[in-house]
Structure 1
Amino acid sequence: MSYPGYPGYPQGNPTVRPDPAFNPRQDAEVLRKAMKGFGTDEKAIINVICKRTNAQRQEIAVQFKTLYGKDLIKDLKSEISGRFEDLIVALMTPLPQFYAQEIHDALSGIGTDEDCLIEVFCTLNNHEIRTVRAAYESMYRSSLESDLAGDTSGHFKRLMRSLCTGNRDESYAVDTAAAQRDAQALLRAGELRFGTDESVFNAVLCSRSYPQLRQIFAEYERLTGHSFAKAIKNEFSGDIEAGLLAIVKSVCSKSEFFAERLHDSMAGLGTKDRTLIRVVATRCEVDMQDIKQAFSAKYGKSLESFISGDTSGDYKKALLALVE
């Protein structure tokens, strides 16, 4: 699973890049030494795993099995624990399988983690969604669309089913006349009527390209004098509001969307470690530098300072190694 950047967006600025002097055999030997004998060298584990890309980590795992006949993830899990273990295992998991696991866990058990579903389906591009869907269906022998439909309801269910098709227009062209028509249709479906025609919002937000949606939002604001995001807040509530707003935020600034996710994972009582791990593990190779800038601009503090104040031990060291 690659991250070529979303059409209509420049390539993001990652914090984790391919190591130009990469030697998977040497890295495998370092990790073996770090876990062999009495005690574990957590620093060595962080220096290797947090400074390589996901693709490079997969090569290390192959070398580790070739050299020692052992599964690297199993060895790591036997040596480390807690949130540090969760983060390292996330980093070692191929991205499609990692996203598939997150979705499966979001749908399993008591209640549904709608925030996870929104984060994944409202920000990935078509190729990424299809790759994750294939991984999910291979791993769990179940239809992703059916599982989403079975665990969600109402307008939110329709939004998730639309997005999981991975069929958004990804062209670069912007049609101003069509954007004006869509803005007027959205206005008629929401603010100009009693009640809301949710299907119009779903159709436009799930199928139009990002550049086209930016034009639609501009046309909507020109017609009404306020932002499209404000219209969604006025017309919707609950999970469907959160999902539609996530698409709008992702279209306008994906970096700011993920900065908000990171802030919310650490603000208030307790840390939402699962969200923190997922965002850092999946965005460090994509646009974490951009997310850090958006975070500082929005909250007046650096992402590193938030992580330092909200986590501890090897977990904190590994997170900081990924975002610095």
Structure 2
Amino acid sequence: MAEEFEALTRAFSGLGGLGVDESSLVTAISKWRKQPEKRGGFRSASHFFDSKGSFDRCEDTFIRAIEEEFSRFKDVMVEWAMHPWERDARWIHLVLHKDYPISVIVEIASTRSSDELLGVRKAYHALYHHSIEEEVAYRVKENYSGVRTCILFNYIYVPILYKTWMNNHGPLAWGQLLVGLVSAYRYEGSRVDHEMAKSEAKILGNSIKNASKKDPVEDQEVIRILTTRSKAHISLTFKHYKEMFGKSIDKDLVDESCLHEAAQCLESAPKYFSKVIDKAFEGAHKTGKDALARVIVSRADVDMEEIKKAYQEQYNAKLEDMIVKNTHGNYREALLSLVQN
């Protein structure tokens, strides 16, 4: 074990100023593919990480050094080595302070377990000395009510004039949805109340039906259901919705960006992630390319097999084949190591 840590440390440290040893890093990914505890041990033993707090924090100087050595490959390697809480906290901070899609926050808040999301909030406290909740509440109001805002268009952001968009979407209601999602601590058991699920399916349907009079994102009952109910309950609610209204809620919310994203994530994370990956292959925008690394690294130890299956079903292609087709070099090899059995 000590020899493996030493080899990985040397690989990250570069070759005497000649660059990072990418081949060794790819080898590490392959060997430690399903052993996150080894990465935890590496973080604890490595001078690249500070282990004094509740999680092994990646040193900012290390991140800057890696960025100087190589470009896209760092997105895979640094995020792979990071503690998952820190990785998600840094992504949320990037969204709130840079031009990245709000969908990333919805994605993280809606697909992580209750304990994982709690850990992300703890990491955000330690890294940025603010809570995610206060940052979201403030920056949705301030940053996205300026000259432009950021909405989703096929999972990649499109800047548009604030006045046009905000005529139809109030920042307060939008902020309430996001704060509710990031502060959730959902029940994760299998028990569900069938009658309650039917009742709430009707509530959702009536709100969507009356969208011309009142946007569903401004409906407190809609926000309550999506931000507090267990995923098992929401899945059953969506099933009843389709039975009642003859159409999936996914299709009925297609014009409601954040609600649509939240519904997709809560109903089927693998299906949602397969869509994000496919759009990343299609798009040339930097946020699209970043999405490929973000999703594959964060889900490699969680539900990658389910994502591969969902991708095959939706696009009639193997995810591995699409990675080979759309990426190159050690970046491609690293991604393949993370998705293969």
Match of 2:279 among 264, 271, 287: 264
Instruction: Please tell me whether the aligned partners of residues 125 and 166 of structure 1 are also in contact (alpha carbons under 8 angstroms).
Output: no
Residue 221 of structure 2: aligned partner? 200
Q: 1:179 to 1:309 in 2, by over 3 A?
A: same
Residue 214 of structure 1: aligned partner? 235
Residue 45 of structure 1: aligned partner? 25
CA distances 1:232-267 after superposition (whole Å, capped 9, x unpaired)? 23xxx4xxx232223322333221111111111111
Which 5+ residue runs of structure 2 have no aligned equivalent? 49-58, 141-170
Letter in 2 for 1:250: C
Determine whether 1:83 maps to 2:104: no
Residue 158 of structure 1: aligned partner? 176
* Matched residue SS, 2:111: coil
Residue 262 of structure 2: aligned partner? 247
Residues paired across the two proteins, number: 290
Letter in 1 for 2:237: I
Q: 1:295 to 1:31 in 2, by over 3 A?
A: same
Q: 1:115 to 1:50 in 2, by over 3 A?
A: farther
Q: 1:193 to 1:297 in 2, by over 3 A?
A: closer
Q: Distance in 1 between matches of 2:42 and 2:269?
A: 31
Instruction: Please tell me whether the aligned partners of residues 73 and 92 of structure 1 are also in contact (alpha carbons under 8 angstroms).
Output: no
Instruction: Please tell me whether the aligned partners of residues 54 and 94 of structure 1 are also in contact (alpha carbons under 8 angstroms).
Output: no
Match of 2:5 among 28, 37, 53: 28
Instruction: Please tell me whether the aligned partners of residues 148 and 160 of structure 1 are also in contact (alpha carbons under 8 angstroms).
Output: yes
Q: Distance in 2 between matches of 1:114 and 1:38?
A: 37
Letter in 2 for 1:280: I
Letter in 1 for 2:271: E
Superposed CA RMSD? 2.6
Could you tell me how far 1:120 is from its partner in structure 2?
0.9
TM-score relative to the length of structure 2 = 0.77
* Matched residue SS, 1:174: coil
Q: 1:74 to 1:179 in 2, by over 3 A?
A: closer
Paired residues for 1:63-212 under 5 Å: 63-65=45-47, 73=62, 77=66, 80-109=69-98, 111-152=99-140, 153-191=171-209, 195-196=213-214, 198-212=219-233
Q: Distance in 2 between matches of 1:62 and 1:275?
A: 28
Letter in 2 for 1:258: F
Letter in 2 for 1:29: E
Instruction: Please tell me whether the aligned partners of residues 63 and 78 of structure 2 are also in contact (alpha carbons under 8 angstroms).
Output: no
Q: 1:305 to 1:58 in 2, by over 3 A?
A: same
Q: Distance in 2 between matches of 1:252 and 1:320?
A: 27
TM-score relative to the length of structure 1 = 0.80
Higher strand proportion (structure 1 or 2) = 2
Structure number with greater CO (CA < 8 Å, separation at least 6) is 1
Q: 1:262 to 1:194 in 2, by over 3 A?
A: closer
Q: 1:192 to 1:245 in 2, by over 3 A?
A: closer
Letter in 2 for 1:226: K
* Matched residue SS, 1:285: coil
Residue 224 of structure 1: aligned partner? 245
Instruction: Please tell me whether the aligned partners of residues 184 and 228 of structure 2 are also in contact (alpha carbons under 8 angstroms).
Output: no
Could you tell me how far 1:170 is from its partner in structure 2?
2.8
Could you tell me how far 1:167 is from its partner in structure 2?
2.7
Q: Distance in 1 between matches of 2:220 and 2:315?
A: 35
Q: Distance in 2 between matches of 1:154 and 1:74?
A: 35
Letter in 2 for 1:267: E
* Matched residue SS, 2:186: coil
Residue 165 of structure 2: aligned partner? none
Q: 1:80 to 1:289 in 2, by over 3 A?
A: farther
Instruction: Please tell me whether the aligned partners of residues 67 and 74 of structure 2 are also in contact (alpha carbons under 8 angstroms).
Output: no
Letter in 2 for 1:155: A
